[in-house]
């Protein structure tokens, strides 16, 4: 028998009535009907760039809470890491 997962992650959409419709079945959690679950909703999705460098929603939430910054600012900051290394500014700084 396959062991039940503890959690699953997927994206969902909010409909016109403001309700979330799950895009995936949660059968793999092997929960009995009527089971209680905890749901955390993050507005927006991770960009491909952030996903590629291994950033998680939990990290964004933790950084935002620690720095008292909103999610968009944290994501912009994380996505900008290393940008200056590729531009003319880096070349000028190296020469200085």
For residue 75, give the nearest of 95, 94, 48, 93 by alpha carbon.
Answer: 48
State how far the Cα of 26 lies from the Cα of 9, in Å rounded to an integer.
Answer: 10
- Burial of 65 (C-beta count, 10 Å sphere; 0-12/13-18/19+): exposed
pLDDT by 10s per residue, the chain, length 96: 556 666 777 778 888 999 887 767 777 778 888 888 888 777 777 888 888 888 888 888 888 888 888 888 888 888 887 666 666 665 666 665
Residues 50 and 78: beta-carbon distance below 8 Å: yes
Residues 22 and 49: beta-carbon distance below 8 Å: no
């Amino acid at each position: 028998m396959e062991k039940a997962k503890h959690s699953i992650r997927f994206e969902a959409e909010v409909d016109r009535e403001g309700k979330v419709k799950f895009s995936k079945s949660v059968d793999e959690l092997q929960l009995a009907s009527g089971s209680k679950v905890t749901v955390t909703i993050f507005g927006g999705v991770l960009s491909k760039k952030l996903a590629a460098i291994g950033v998680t929603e939990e990290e964004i939430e933790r950084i935002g809470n620690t720095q008292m910054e909103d999610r968009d600012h944290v994501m912009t900051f994380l996505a900008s890491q290393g940008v200056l290394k590729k531009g003319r500014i880096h070349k000028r700084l190296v020469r200085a």
